[in-house]
Structure 1
Amino acid sequence: MTMISKERKTVSFFTICYEGDWERILKENRLERIIRQCNYDFFERGLIINNVKDRLTVERYAKEAVQKGIIDVYYFSEDYSEEILKKFSITRNSFRLDFYDGYYYSIGPLTAVFLAKGKYLVYLTGDCLIEPHSVPWIDESVERMENDRNIFVASARGVDTNIECTWYTSREDDEFFYTHGFSDQCFMVETQRLHADIYNHYHYYTERYPVYGGRLFEKRVNSYMCVKQLDRIVRKGAFYSHEKLLNAGLEEVQTKPTLSKKLKRMAGNSSRKLRKAINKRIFGHTTKVDGKVKKWHI
């Protein structure tokens, strides 16, 4: 793998593939499109490979992507998982919540955060693309972040931001919406801010994330943002699309959920509703995992 000098620090780019979509990303031109449509000269372009069965085959295609100049580096998340959990003070069991385990949803972006060498990190999941007609948003977002430390993260506008931008915007100007949300689908952040002790907070606003994700990365980051009352800025005129992306043969597979899965989902949803009600309606506050209380109502 090509190594990048730490002396060069601007904006790193990372995306991810896993067992369900690596063929679509590495065998087709998807990886090239993800990077090209960002329309930005990144100083490093990386791929995180997460939870794949045939490591040797996937690595062969990743090496080809490096040889073609599509990416500079690739990493297997499993090679760094122990270091990552120790670095960020996260226990393996803590990803489990409401009968679900969010580890495999989370270790990919955590690996990108851990290994990115740029001052800023742009991260898109492999099933997201910046729309070609989008206005530039990366440099503009960096400028805002440099001038306002209360801005924690920036993104283009996607489906996950529509409700926030429509109903829950705290303020806006000609270029940006200011919201309280966070998504791992598309984000840009000052890398070192994600290296801080931020992953063990809780805020009831984050109960909106899918129950099957457990205590996942984006839920942890957003909890910290809410506790500290930090903003996400969403660039007006910059958009990303999100599509279901599965390897050939998987797209046609439709399996009906078993009774046990239905019961598990029901139990998880009930557990989440109860936890949110207790924290929001009874205590009316947000809590940190260590017990510290900071009041803030969303």
Structure 2
Amino acid sequence: MERTVYVNGDYVPEREAKISVFDRGFLFADGVYEVTSVLNGKLVDFAGHMRRLRRSLDELQMRMPCSEEELLQIHRKLVEVNAVAEGLVYMQITRGAADRDFTYPESATPTLVLFTQARPVIASPVAERGARVVTVEDLRWGRRDIKTVQLLYPSMAKMIAKGQGVDDAWLVQDGKITEGTSNNTYIVTADGTIVTRDLSHDILPGITRAAVLNCVRELQMKVEERAFSVEEALSAREAFSTSATGFVCPVVEIDGTVLGDGKPGPVARRLRQIYIEESLKSAI
């Protein structure tokens, strides 16, 4: 069945969806996006995604194309008409179409596009067996805290991982791991402390990251928000990542070094289970 997508106020078949060749998202990657998971036909962490969206738009001096309530209704309608029980909704906002110029146009109307992807997110073969990752130099721009559509280097890093026969790449700057290509990263030390990079311009403030850290604190587990080195990761008891589509995903191998017994660790497995349970309860 052909999907229905949303383009600037219209719900249209995907093959009929069009935007201008002068759209600044196409010419300059001048746009932001959010991906919201769908469980049982409902949206997970929607309010958090809206908060981050507003921040990204503010950082780029870009206008919100409509109200949050309207965005919620668009998300819900797309989920309904495409019969998505489990999957995701992708939303992209660009500055709009204008004659090509590096300065921001003053009168452009923002472009708003949304589409769904139906796919299993709870039953994940990678999460079940644990992901294998390699480290790659982090060559992205310096404002990774803004969720822009500038994703070419993460794509390149994922292709490096694919070429080495593993699942993903973790990015490294000055010997410290920043984050994964599309996720936040964590290690568990020998004493059970969960360590994850602290928020700054160096990483994206993950919505799933915030939710999982809330779970960690409610469980009174020890957590440190700080940079950690590749060497620390290689000697960790276990590791995992978080993202809107991967939830909590255990990592069992880094650069060919097997962590623990080579199976998903108890901390990652517990947090994944709790996050999914809580998401099912709170999804709207």
Structure 1 or 2: more helix by fraction: 1
Structure 1 or 2: more strand by fraction: 2
